[in-house]
Protein backbone atom coordinates (compact mmCIF):
# COMPACT_ATOMS: atom_id res chain seq x y z
CA UNK A 1 0.00 0.00 0.00
CA UNK A 2 1.24 3.46 -0.87
CA UNK A 3 1.32 5.99 1.94
CA UNK A 4 -0.18 8.50 -0.52
CA UNK A 5 -3.57 6.92 0.23
CA UNK A 6 -3.04 7.47 3.97
CA UNK A 7 -4.82 10.58 5.22
CA UNK A 8 -3.25 12.84 7.84
CA UNK A 9 -5.68 14.64 10.15
CA UNK A 10 -5.38 16.69 13.30
CA UNK A 11 -9.04 16.11 14.19
CA UNK A 12 -8.71 14.95 17.80
CA UNK A 13 -12.07 13.18 17.64
CA UNK A 14 -10.60 10.66 15.18
CA UNK A 15 -7.73 9.59 17.44
CA UNK A 16 -7.86 5.96 18.53
CA UNK A 17 -6.61 6.53 22.07
CA UNK A 18 -6.59 2.82 22.92
CA UNK A 19 -4.36 2.09 19.93
CA UNK A 20 -2.09 5.06 20.67
CA UNK A 21 -1.76 3.85 24.26
CA UNK A 22 -0.77 0.35 23.10
CA UNK A 23 1.83 1.80 20.73
CA UNK A 24 3.37 4.12 23.31
CA UNK A 25 3.30 1.51 26.09
CA UNK A 26 5.40 -0.73 23.83
CA UNK A 27 7.88 2.01 22.82
CA UNK A 28 11.42 2.38 24.14
CA UNK A 29 10.72 5.94 25.31
CA UNK A 30 7.56 5.32 27.36
CA UNK A 31 7.49 1.59 28.18
CA UNK A 32 4.45 0.64 30.20
CA UNK A 33 3.00 4.17 30.20
CA UNK A 34 -0.42 4.35 31.82
CA UNK A 35 -3.41 5.18 29.64
CA UNK A 36 -4.32 8.18 31.82
CA UNK A 37 -0.88 9.67 31.16
CA UNK A 38 -1.36 9.20 27.40
CA UNK A 39 -4.76 10.89 27.63
CA UNK A 40 -3.19 13.85 29.46
CA UNK A 41 -0.42 14.09 26.87
CA UNK A 42 -2.95 14.09 24.03
CA UNK A 43 -5.08 16.72 25.77
CA UNK A 44 -2.11 19.08 26.11
CA UNK A 45 -0.74 18.64 22.60
CA UNK A 46 -1.49 19.28 18.96
CA UNK A 47 -1.96 15.72 17.72
CA UNK A 48 -1.86 14.25 14.25
CA UNK A 49 -3.22 10.89 13.19
CA UNK A 50 -2.57 8.89 10.01
CA UNK A 51 -5.51 6.87 8.69
CA UNK A 52 -6.06 4.18 6.09
CA UNK A 53 -8.94 4.76 3.66
CA UNK A 54 -11.23 2.65 5.90
CA UNK A 55 -10.44 4.84 8.91
CA UNK A 56 -8.00 2.59 10.79
CA UNK A 57 -5.32 4.66 12.49
CA UNK A 58 -1.79 3.66 11.44
CA UNK A 59 0.29 6.59 12.69
CA UNK A 60 0.53 9.25 15.34
CA UNK A 61 2.65 12.26 16.26
CA UNK A 62 2.20 15.26 18.51
CA UNK A 63 3.71 18.68 19.14
CA UNK A 64 3.86 20.65 22.36
CA UNK A 65 4.37 24.35 21.65
CA UNK A 66 3.73 27.98 22.48
CA UNK A 67 3.58 28.47 18.67
CA UNK A 68 6.05 31.34 18.83
CA UNK A 69 9.46 30.40 20.17
CA UNK A 70 9.41 26.70 21.03
CA UNK A 71 7.98 23.44 19.73
CA UNK A 72 8.71 19.86 20.73
CA UNK A 73 7.94 16.96 18.38
CA UNK A 74 7.05 13.82 20.31
CA UNK A 75 5.69 10.29 20.05
CA UNK A 76 6.09 9.83 16.30
CA UNK A 77 4.78 6.31 15.75
CA UNK A 78 4.08 4.34 12.59
CA UNK A 79 2.26 1.02 12.73
CA UNK A 80 4.40 -1.94 11.65
CA UNK A 81 2.00 -2.65 8.77
CA UNK A 82 3.05 0.56 6.98
CA UNK A 83 6.60 1.14 8.24
CA UNK A 84 9.40 1.84 5.81
CA UNK A 85 7.24 3.80 3.37
CA UNK A 86 7.95 7.36 4.53
CA UNK A 87 4.95 7.87 6.80
CA UNK A 88 7.10 8.93 9.75
CA UNK A 89 8.65 11.59 7.54
CA UNK A 90 5.19 12.75 6.42
CA UNK A 91 4.00 13.04 10.02
CA UNK A 92 7.04 15.09 11.10
CA UNK A 93 7.03 17.25 7.95
CA UNK A 94 3.32 18.04 8.44
CA UNK A 95 4.17 19.79 11.71
CA UNK A 96 7.36 21.44 10.47
CA UNK A 97 5.49 22.96 7.53
CA UNK A 98 2.31 23.79 9.47
CA UNK A 99 1.66 27.57 9.54
CA UNK A 100 1.44 27.55 13.36
CA UNK A 101 5.03 26.25 13.64
CA UNK A 102 6.76 27.48 10.48
CA UNK A 103 8.37 30.44 12.28
CA UNK A 104 9.04 28.82 15.66
CA UNK A 105 12.57 29.69 16.76
CA UNK A 106 13.47 26.28 18.19
CA UNK A 107 11.94 22.96 17.22
CA UNK A 108 13.24 20.09 19.34
CA UNK A 109 12.89 16.36 19.67
CA UNK A 110 14.58 13.34 21.20
CA UNK A 111 15.37 10.13 19.34
CA UNK A 112 17.36 6.98 19.90
CA UNK A 113 17.19 5.53 16.41
CA UNK A 114 15.83 7.96 13.80
CA UNK A 115 18.59 10.54 13.47
CA UNK A 116 18.77 10.07 9.70
CA UNK A 117 15.08 10.79 9.23
CA UNK A 118 15.19 13.94 11.31
CA UNK A 119 18.48 15.16 9.80
CA UNK A 120 16.83 15.05 6.37
CA UNK A 121 14.11 17.32 7.80
CA UNK A 122 16.64 19.90 9.00
CA UNK A 123 17.20 18.79 12.60
CA UNK A 124 20.74 18.74 13.96
CA UNK A 125 22.47 18.09 17.28
CA UNK A 126 22.05 20.86 19.83
CA UNK A 127 23.81 24.06 18.77
CA UNK A 128 24.61 24.89 22.39
CA UNK A 129 24.11 21.85 24.59
CA UNK A 130 25.87 23.61 27.46
CA UNK A 131 22.90 26.01 27.70
CA UNK A 132 20.12 23.44 27.91
CA UNK A 133 19.14 21.53 31.01
CA UNK A 134 16.36 19.17 32.02
CA UNK A 135 14.66 18.00 35.18
CA UNK A 136 13.54 14.38 35.13
CA UNK A 137 10.95 12.78 37.38
CA UNK A 138 12.33 10.03 39.61
CA UNK A 139 10.64 7.18 37.72
CA UNK A 140 11.69 8.53 34.32
CA UNK A 141 15.27 9.06 35.50
CA UNK A 142 15.30 5.41 36.63
CA UNK A 143 14.03 4.31 33.22
CA UNK A 144 16.82 6.22 31.48
CA UNK A 145 19.41 4.84 33.87
CA UNK A 146 18.23 1.28 33.19
CA UNK A 147 18.41 1.94 29.44
CA UNK A 148 22.02 3.14 29.46
What pLDDT does residue 59 have? 98
Mean pLDDT across 90-114: 95
pLDDT score of 2: 65
- Specify the pLDDT at position 142: 81
What gap in Å lies between CA 144 and CA 25, rounded to an integer?
A: 15
Distance of CA 113 to the CA centre of its chain: 13
* 146 band by pLDDT with thresholds 50, 70 and 90: confident
Could you tell me where the DSSP H helices lie in the chain? Answer: 17-25, 35-43, 87-97, 115-120, 138-147
Between 17 and 136, the higher pLDDT residue: 17
For residue 9, is pLDDT > 70? yes
Percent of the chain with pLDDT over 90: 83
Judge whether 75 and 41 are in contact, CB under 8 Å.
yes
Give the pLDDT score at 136.
85
Q: What is the mean pLDDT of residues 49-73?
A: 97
Q: What is the pLDDT of residue 138?
A: 83
Q: What local confidence, expressed as pLDDT, does residue 24 receive?
A: 97
Q: Higher pLDDT residue, 143 or 107?
A: 107
pLDDT, mean over the chain: 93
> Residue 118's CB: how many other CB atoms inside 10 A?
19
**Which one, of 15, 111, 21, 100, lies nearest residue 55 by Cα?**
15
- The mean pLDDT value for 14-35 works out to 95
Distance between CA atoms of residues 53 and 109, nearest Å: 29
For 32, list phi and psi in degrees, rounded to 5: 75, 15
Amino acid sequence: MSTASIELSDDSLRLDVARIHRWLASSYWTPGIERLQVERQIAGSHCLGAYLPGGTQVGFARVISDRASFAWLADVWVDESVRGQGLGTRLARWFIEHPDYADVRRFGLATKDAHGLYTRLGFAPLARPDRLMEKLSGPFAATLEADS
